[in-house]
A = this chain, B = another copy of it.
């Protein structure tokens, strides 16, 4: 298995077709908790939908235009982190993530993001990582805040969420600001 080991119990794994079943089940069990902010869960009705997502994630990776990793905790998939776009010209990417319900509250996502961001700054040589979250989504906003990202502003009506405009807080971190060993 091709992984980025974080510590004895936590590692990041490039998403692949072997993850379809486990990932679908994780999402399926977390529908209520995910649905508030992630409308894609409504369109994820069977393993076939998860398979389509993984194929598109692999395709983006194959074009050096994205990367999705599974957060693997004690051998189980706990969630995913998505580098939505790899903008090599401007040396930046933006990040999305979600965790299965039963894996929340243990800091797994923050530890995983820390490791992945170090990889993105140090190995991919990116200069900027951006995280956006609905202004009301306090749990999602907690991740960049805990990691020292700068709140750069609020993009109003940045997206439509269930037919209502959603305002997005933009958090940014630059390579020069990142401390690899930060806690």
Contact between chains at A158 and B92 (CB < 8 Å): yes
Chain A 1-58 residues near chain B, CB threshold 8 A: 1-5, 12-14, 16-18, 55, 58
Q: Mark A60-71, 1 if CB is under 8 A from B, else 0.
A: 111110000000
Q: Mark A95-127, 1 if CB is under 8 A from B, else 0.
A: 000000000000000000000000100011101
Find A63's partner among B59, B153, B154 (CB 8 Å cutoff): B59
* Interface magnitude class on chain A: 35 or more
Contact between chains at B64 and A17 (CB < 8 Å): yes
Q: What distance in Å separates the Cβ of A14 from its nearest Cβ neighbour in chain B?
A: 5
Q: Which residue of B has the minimal Cβ distance to A65?
A: B62
Find A1's partner among B123, B150, B155 (CB 8 Å cutoff): B123
Interface residues of A (CB under 8 A from B): 1-5, 12-14, 16-18, 55, 58-64, 89-92, 119, 123-125, 127-128, 130, 150, 152-160, 165, 170, 172, 174
Besides A2-B2, A89-B159, A91-B157, 6 other CB < 8 A contacts?
A2-B3, A5-B5, A58-B62, A58-B63, A62-B62, A90-B158
Can you name 26 A-B pairs with beta carbons within 8 Å?
A1-B4, A2-B4, A2-B13, A2-B14, A5-B5, A14-B14, A17-B64, A18-B123, A58-B61, A58-B64, A59-B62, A62-B62, A89-B160, A90-B157, A90-B159, A91-B157, A91-B160, A92-B157, A127-B157, A127-B165, A128-B158, A152-B153, A152-B154, A152-B156, A153-B170, A157-B172
